[in-house]
Chains A and B, each alone.
Chain A
Amino acid sequence: MSWETVIGLEIHVQLSTKSKLFSGGSTEFGAESNTHVDLVDMGLPGVLPVANREAFYKAIRFGLATGANINQTSSFDRKNYFYPDLPKGYQITQMEQPIIENGSIKISVDDYEKKINITRAHLEEDAGKSIHDMFEGETGVDLNRAGTPLLEIVSEPEISSAKEAVAYFKAIRQLVTFLDICDGNMAQGSMRCDVNVSIRKSGDKELGIRAELKNINSFKFIEKAINFEINRQIKLIENGESVVQETRLYDSDKNETRSMRSKEEANDYRYFPCPDLLPVIISDKELKEIKENLPELPEEKEIRYVNEIGLEESEATIIASSKTMANMFEEASSKTDDAGLVAKWLVGDVSALLNKNNIDIDESNLSPENFGKLIERISDGTISGKIAKSVLEEVWETASDVDQIIESKGLIQIQDENLLENVAKKIIESNPDQVKAYKSGKDKLFGFFVGQVMKETQGKANPKTVNEILIGLLK
């Protein structure tokens, strides 16, 4: 029997506003517990929520970038449930009139591309944080996060493998970071995802019964959790049992999903329009302004890098794929005339160092100014590419100024033709055998002479000049 997997993702994106969705509480991450809690976030009686307009603007940017319908009138509903980190006893969300509907995003997996439709994206408030393991017999509650604006992005059930799910999540993350509506920091919970997984016989039209996997916050775990769940469901059905519709928790230590029975008991959120909040209307003028100020997206950047700057397509793809890389490229390029060389170094040596240290470029010691300067010193002939490599490594370790490193270490390239000619002559004199062999047709030995001159000058000779001199002398 062959099986087909059907996956839908709900991604919670924390919008990078300064204040909360319905109060003036700060959204800063990592603050001392319960210090960013407004009366509204506490759910005290007699206070009223007032919506943060910036959260709507950020949501609209996402809608525009995914070609979605923007509902200029959207409203809020209450989702009712009891949990200690939700002081009001309900979460304010958008059930009936979400701000965004019917968008799509392109993903690429291995050797194919696919369009994933986005059913809706709606604004809602986050809950606080429960701390279960610090207090004997009690749970601690920190409400700093309560009321933080989230955009919940709901995909159509069109994802057909764990790999596609990861690609989709990555595409959404790339988009929201480029749009500057979320910092994309998964370790801090700025992006979290619930995954709906079901299986059906290949070719069946009807969807199978799905299980919902909760709160997975890394690419690796999305893939593992889904693959575990697919196998679990196939085994169940092949043994004549059936899948139960339920919420399951992924345990990354054991690499398994397990039932969260407590939440199953009564899954009735009794949604109704929130009487505390009137519908929010976004004007045509506001919409137009957001559209006009939409930042350049990865795909557009890629095309511009190739067509206007003349980068190789492969370079453009790598650089445009992350916002921090693209920023580094654009800022460093503005400091030098040789954008092509910036790209070459960024994709080559710099990426190698990033991979080695497993960090993002904005966490490194390399500033765009310093990087631009390094490239400039290569293209104006001050240092050779080989020397530049060691300068880059020095910058990487110490963040020192490129010019200072070059000066203090005496790395300036030797351009003096007389000096280089003398060195070359000396090398030729002391290697008569090689000269003889070269002249009798062993062309490959040319590299030997270049190497010797380089060695003699501690790598500081200008390779082009050395080549010219040697060609002349060995004629």
Chain B
Amino acid sequence: MDKKTVTTISYLSRLKIDGEKEEKIIKDLSNIIEFVDQLNDVDTTEIAPLKNPLEKTAKTRKDIVTAKNLKKEMLEVAPSANEDYFLVPRVVE
């Protein structure tokens, strides 16, 4: 875990890290990874990855439209919207 990795992760997760805390965070994250790394000592070649701790399979839906039109309610609670769209700061490729 180095400074570059932490910068990248903080960018990807949109979490701002204060400069003074950076050193501590690098150290903490390194410790966590080291701790979790112990799992690599276990031989898991014969074991299928666990997709879900419930070890059950999914209930599924029939292909039926059940949703109501919530346009008005949803746009009302949005931080920014007009009568038709949610509005966000301009993003353009």
A residues less than 8 Å from B59 (CB atoms) = 50
Closest to B50 in A: A273
Complex Cα distance A469/B92, Å?
A: 78
Chosen A-B contacts, 24 in total, with CB atoms closer than 8 Å, are: A17-B63, A19-B67, A24-B64, A25-B65, A33-B85, A36-B67, A36-B69, A38-B66, A42-B74, A52-B62, A73-B57, A80-B12, A83-B91, A84-B91, A96-B49, A135-B82, A138-B88, A141-B85, A142-B85, A266-B8, A266-B12, A275-B52, A278-B54, A279-B51
A: which residues have CB within 8 A of B?
Answer: 17-19, 23-26, 32-39, 41-42, 50-56, 73, 75, 80, 82-84, 96, 130-132, 135, 137-143, 249, 260, 262-263, 265-266, 268, 270, 273, 275, 277-281
Complex Cα distance A135/B54, Å?
A: 47
Given A37-B67, A135-B82, A142-B84, 12 extra CB contacts under 8 A: A19-B61, A37-B71, A50-B61, A51-B61, A132-B91, A138-B87, A138-B90, A139-B88, A266-B12, A273-B51, A277-B58, A279-B57
Verify if B93 is at the interface (C-beta below 8 Å from A). Answer: yes
A residues less than 8 Å from B66 (CB atoms) = 19, 24, 38
Complex Cα distance A278/B57, Å?
A: 5
B residues less than 8 Å from A141 (CB atoms) = 85-88
Verify if B24 is at the interface (C-beta below 8 Å from A). Answer: no
B residues less than 8 Å from A26 (CB atoms) = 65, 67
B residues less than 8 Å from A142 (CB atoms) = 84-85
Among B14, B57, B59, B60, the most chain A Cβ lie within 10 Å of the Cβ of: B60
Interface size range on B against A: 35 or more
Is B61 in contact with A52, judged by CB distance below 8 angstroms? Answer: yes
Is A139 in contact with B92, judged by CB distance below 8 angstroms? Answer: yes
Is B84 in contact with A33, judged by CB distance below 8 angstroms? Answer: yes
Q: Give chain B's interface secondary structure class.
A: loop
Complex Cα distance A225/B86, Å?
A: 33
A residues less than 8 Å from B64 (CB atoms) = 18-19, 24
Complex Cα distance A270/B62, Å?
A: 31
Whether A140 contacts B84 in the complex (CB less than 8 A), given A34-B75, A52-B61, A278-B51, comes out as: yes
Verify if B39 is at the interface (C-beta below 8 Å from A). Answer: no
A residues less than 8 Å from B63 (CB atoms) = 17-19, 52-55
Is A280 in contact with B86, judged by CB distance below 8 angstroms? Answer: no
A residues less than 8 Å from B91 (CB atoms) = 83-84, 130, 132, 139
Complex Cα distance A73/B48, Å?
A: 13
Closest to B84 in A: A33
Complex Cα distance A25/B90, Å?
A: 27
6 closest A-B pairs by beta carbon, nearest first, are A24-B66, A140-B85, A54-B63, A38-B67, A278-B58, A53-B60
B residues less than 8 Å from A138 (CB atoms) = 80, 87-90
Complex Cα distance A19/B88, Å?
A: 27
Closest to B54 in A: A278
A residues less than 8 Å from B86 (CB atoms) = 34, 84, 140-141, 143
Verify if B16 is at the interface (C-beta below 8 Å from A). Answer: no
